[in-house]
A = this chain, B = another copy of it.
Amino acid sequence: MKRTVAQLADGRDIIYFDEADSAVRDLVDHRELPPRPPASQLRHDPLVDEWVAVAAHRQSRTFLPPSDECPLCPSRGGRLTEVPASDYDVVVFENRFPAFSEGTGRCEVVCFTADHDASFASLPPRRVRTVIDALADRTAELSADPAAAQVFCFENRGVEIGVTLHHPHGQIFAYPFLPPRTQRMLAAARAHATRTGGRNLYTDVLAAERAAGERVVAENPHWTAYVPAAARWPYEVHLAPHRQVPDLPALTSEERDAFGPLYLDLLRRFDALFGVPEPTPYISAWHQAPVREDRGLGYLHLQLYTIRRAPGKLKYLAGSESAMGVFINDVPPEAAAAALREA
């Protein structure tokens, strides 16, 4: 893989990850871009002791443009996009409308393919490996920033969960604080370690799921995919390596190669679940250990879930979920696992 770093017209970084070592990325971004927006604010909510990002400039962000105005496509036929190249494999650049920026974190966009009409599920395994290498590269580099507390790689897919650009892409956030959910995970892992003389919580949960087998959807020698016993979402799968590692950079080459086929299989099962032509909306979220503290309490894994509970029906986060944090799941996890195995 060849890695090339360049800058966009307004000074943002762009990094190409090319599968061919012969790739040359020397085109200059000739657009006249407005100055970068002011940094977003971090505000502290005293009632729950949590941080909220206020990013007013995002209200004017690009919203579901037609495909011939897609800013994530390569620059072709005289149309200049966010990517000053006529083609690319995987490319990462700083978000033009970031939720976090300049001293309060960083937001990057990762394009999985130059093909506007593709989806992650349609990528070849080789490309998935390139994406994983790119995410590992970004995690390592962003983790080196003393202001970063956690690096979060994720994909939102589908207008049903608010995607504003159709081109297949994910995002990478470097948070300047530990997110509330990570805090809860670390507290639970710490309590478990205390109770058990130092055992890793996720290691024990994964071993129990593999032993039970009832909720396992798919596995290979390096990874297991299962529906957690207390799943929050109608169809939710956790995909974990068999070896405790804190983050993506710590995965071996074999583990990275083994991830793609299993994940692609899972995504295709998600799309086949409901027997409808519309692809299944999903959130795919990599949980990594914090950048500095409590590295040994973490355990890299992916949480993949859809908000669709039936054809034409979505799971909404209404009063109980959004005000109280209590999830109500209408699909028993064992039934979800069976449906995914059969899909």
Binding site for B on A (CB under 8 A): 40-41, 43-56, 58-59, 63, 99, 150, 152, 154-156, 161-163, 171, 173, 175, 179-182, 184-185, 187-188, 191-192, 201-202, 205, 228-232, 283, 285, 287, 303, 309-310, 313-320, 322-333, 335
Contacts and interface: CB of A to CB of B under 8 A. Distances in A.
Nearest to A63: B313
Contacts of A313: 63
Contacts of A46: 188, 192, 201, 205, 230
A325 to B, nearest CB: 4
Given A230-B43, A310-B59, A180 B326 contact: yes
Contacts of A56: 330-332, 335
Most B C-beta atoms less than 10 A away, residue of A43, A171, A179: A43
B59 A162 contact: no
Contacts of A329: 52-55
B201 A318 contact: no
B44 A323 contact: no
Oligomer copy total: 2
Nearest to A154: B319
Contact of A188 (B48, B51, B154, B317): B48
A319 B201 contact: no
12 contacts: A46-B205, A47-B202, A47-B205, A47-B228, A48-B188, A50-B230, A55-B329, A59-B310, A179-B320, A179-B326, A180-B325, A285-B322
Chain A interface helix/strand/loop/mixed: mixed
A-B pairs with the 7 shortest C-beta distances? A162-B316, A285-B323, A180-B325, A154-B319, A179-B324, A45-B230, A43-B230
A318 B54 contact: no
Nearest to A51: B326
B52 A283 contact: no
A49 B180 contact: no
A215 to B, nearest CB: 12
A49 B184 contact: yes
Given A45-B228, A201-B46, A230-B43, A323 B283 contact: yes
A99 B180 contact: no
A163 B45 CA distance: 28
Contacts of A232: 45, 52
A283 B180 contact: no
A48 to B, nearest CB: 4
Contacts of A48: 181, 184-185, 188
B318 A161 contact: yes
A310 to B, nearest CB: 7
A125 B324 CA distance: 28
